Chains A and B, each alone.
Chain A
Amino acid sequence: MGKIKLLQGNEACAEGALYAGCTFFGGYPITPSTEVAEFMARRLPQIGGAFLQMEDEIAAMAAVIGGSLAGSKALTATSGPGFSLKQENMGFAMLTEIPCVIVNVMRGGPSTGVPTGPGQSDIMQCKWGTHGDHPVICLTPAYVQEIFTETVRAFNLSEKYRTPVIIAFDEIVGHMRERIEIPDPGVLPVVNRTKPTCPPSEYLPYDDSKGDVPPMANFFEGYRYHVTGLNHGTDGFPVNASPRIHTDELRLIRKVEGNKKDIVKFEEYQLADAEVAIFAYGVSGRSAKTAVEAARKEGIKAGLFRPLTIWPFPEEQVAALSKRVKAIIVPELSLGQIIFEVDRCSKGRCGIEGIYRVDGDPITPAQILAKVKEVK
């Protein structure tokens, strides 16, 4: 039995990071994610970890990558505007395969938008925000307990696949307080990056001959190697025109898309016999669960598919679902983004109905229930 606490979502994220072995935070104040930085500012010095508030989100993202390269598990947290600024350096970490975790506590967008209101309109940016083809893992917790466990999972996936992992939850989930059980150390698995076993002279930082994820040496451990944002060979040095670039890009994508069984995670709630399904995550997922219960009371066979991994997208599961139900309803705090993916995977096999809301308030169970009744 772990420690029972009443924690804010943002604090649970900080605690989850510490549980996962995070000893480095680089951040910059921005509503509604600042509390993650504030908790890390208090907790990291207590455990000898490094806390840095940098001059902007670009520097924060850079510091996190530097900290990780020097051997620390590193976290940053931000919201829309900061998330936009971090894109280039996130892409750098994706290509150089340096593990790190980026929290995006989503608020109303675009631009300054609704800083204190929830939003889910960054979800495509999580996938396509930085330029070029790149691997993306993005997790979407909806409960304070889940923020804790998904943050631990984010670090594990980041270390295991040597790639940045994004955790995206909206302002409501980030700011709300809920009962949480913090497991004792050792209860949840904690994964560390695979270290090279060969002598430094033989080390190839991006050698893919033994698998898609090359072992990673930290700086200052005798493996003096080169890291560059230029496409590079197995030895880490720039290559600008060679088949290597093509095969390497495919490998980077395959690290994620080829391991969906390990990465994709979701909750199916009363979905087995459902005639109408709801696809929703984050705060919209919470409203959807209540709507399912209300619908069931009225004899309507509704069910919820709630992804905890939004990227890579749960294509198989949504495709299978689309064969079993009359319609999939997609409530999201945007003018329709993740609905494109649901539609793409359903291939017209069932109705696709969106519920959009961008006025700074969450979609209510009543709104979802009304749509369920409409389509059944």
Chain B
Amino acid sequence: MAKEQAAEKIEATENPKVKISIIPRFCKGCEICVKLCPTQVLGMEMFKVKVVDIDKCTICMACELRCPDFAIFVEKK
């Protein structure tokens, strides 16, 4: 996890396999991560990304790879 991002308010969701961290202030609501997630782990709430079902996450990293705003990070446990 990035040091600077750690200074930001972070919404983390996790299960035994994976931890997904979201930085609401950085998210601009473009929905790229939501639409490109192959297993619909993510959704939108008030124009910000939100983890909808973490157990569906296959840790493919598509969301972190294509988020243009450093707003979502995936950490495999």
A and B touch in the complex (CB under 8 A): no
B residues lining the A interface (CB < 8 Å): none
Which residues in A have some Cβ–Cβ distance to B below 8 Å? none
